[in-house]
Structure 1
Amino acid sequence: MLFIKKLYEDYKSDVFYYLVSITHDSDLSEDLTSETFLAAIKSISRYKGNADIKTWLFSIARYKWYEHLRKRKNEVSFDDLAEIYIQQNEDIENRLYRSEIAKMCLTVLDKEPEQARNIVKMRIEGFSYYEIAKRYGISESSARVINFRTKKRIRQILEKRYGDMSGDNF
């Protein structure tokens, strides 16, 4: 019982702020944080220690977020996840524009080398650099650099095709 209390106290803020970063909704993030820790308590016996405990909690939180989206909308498409990945606080009128940019980004991304494409897709799906590095046998720094350079190339290609995108947060 003490372990669970310490786990909650040590990681509650991290999980909450992680959820706020992907939901952009502090009330929803509070609910999802509670659901995350409930799920963690139920599944603590299955935690193998292969990943950092924080990474494990973030993956549960990410799953709870996706579960919430699925309840709201029957299906969450990869396009929706890509839109979440590139968006930052935005107003309603920009949503359609951002959705179109996300689709164009994915089209350009499909032409990137396989490893770079997969790393960016993992980031879109919410994987940490730690998880990506483990999967590809590279350092976290390398995963960050590959993600950064790939996003930069995509931005340059899209700017050549569609003009200046300096107002975008991609």
Structure 2
Amino acid sequence: MPYPELEELYNAYRTDLYRYLCHLTHDPAEAEDLLSETFLRALRRLHTYRGDCAVKTWLFGIAHNVWLESLRKRRPTVSADDLLETYLTDDTLPDHTDTRLQWQRVQALLQQKDDRARRVVQLRAQGYSYAEIAARLGISESSARVIEHRTRTWLKQQLAKEGYDL
């Protein structure tokens, strides 16, 4: 099946994609930039389109991934100590606590949780909103909140059982 020309794709879907990106970004200028990037990627990957979904679905998938990548690029990285402070201390750890040892224990405990719980905690620690986490993981915003709260509570309980003074 021959592929439609890119100009035809652009004319057919630019308005819908732009509206979608405006909805995600709440910024018309950023939506324009992401729209351009979406069509650049579509052009580069047009040969990979297999036809197992509608072209519109394929383009919206590219647009969504472009948006997620733009979010990732804007987020600063978080140090181990910042993550530990964000998720455990609430300014209650005594000054003499070996935060590096506690951080290692938190990492080990997080490995006991399912991948989704780990990702929610990591993304939240990196400053992502619950809405952004929900979009990335394909869950509802309330699920992201509940998972983060339960995981944080569980971590504190586990550390308390092990004698950490929280």
So what's the TM-score if we normalise by structure 2? Answer: 0.49
